[in-house]
Amino acid sequence: DQQVKQNSPSLSVQEGRISILNCDYTNSMFDYFLWYKKYPAEGPTFLISISSIKDKNEDGRFTVFLNKSAKHLSLHIVPSQPGDSAVYFCAAENSGGSNYKLTFGKGTLLTVNP
C-alpha cells in the first residue's frame, strides 16, 4: 500500500523551461510534505517543504504547491537548469505523531537538456 505516489518515473525538459513534478498521497493524516533531490552516488538532500496550513511555498526557482482536497502536491522548477537533473523524491509525514517518520514516493528522474 503506497501512501505517497509519484506516477511519473521520468520527466525530460528543455533548459530554461518549467519542470513540474507531481505527487499524490492517500493518508489524510499527513500534514507536512517535503521534496528531496538525489544525485547519483549521493544521499538525498532536502530541497523544500510545505505545511498543510499553506498551499504554496517558494524558495528561489523552486515552488511547491499543495492541494489538500485533492491530496496532491507539485514541485515547480523555473527556469530549469541542467544541474537540476536528478531524482526527485516526494515525502510526507504526520508531524503530530510521536516520531518523525517520512514516507517517500518512488521518485521521478528529471533530465534537463541543454
Partner 1 sequence: DSGVTQTPKHLITATGQRVTLRCSPRSGDLSVYWYQQSLDQGLQFLIQYYNGEERAKGNILERFSAQQFPDLHSELNLSSLELGDSALYFCASSSRTAGELFFGEGSRLTVL
Q: Interface with partner 1 by CB under 8 A: which residues?
A: 4, 6, 32, 34, 36, 41-46, 49, 89, 91, 93, 95, 98-107
CB-wise, 15 or 111, nearer to partner 1?
111
| Residue 42 Cβ vs partner 1, minimum distance, rounded to whole Å | 6
Minimum CB separation of residue 81 from partner 1 in Å reads 22
User: Closest Cα to residue 68, out of 50, 82, 55, 81?
Assistant: 55
Nearer to partner 1, 28 or 45 (CB): 45
The residue (of 17 and 46) whose beta carbon lies closer to partner 1 is: 46
d(CA 103, CA 99): 12
Query: Nearest distance from residue 16's CB to partner 1, in Å?
Result: 29
Cell of residue 91, nine digits? 515525502
Residue closer to partner 1, measured from CB, 15 or 32? 32
Residue with the three cell numbers 538532500 = 45
Report the C-alpha gap between 63 and 40 in whole angstroms: 23
CA atoms within 13 Å, Cβ hemisphere of 30: 27
DSSP state letter for 83: G
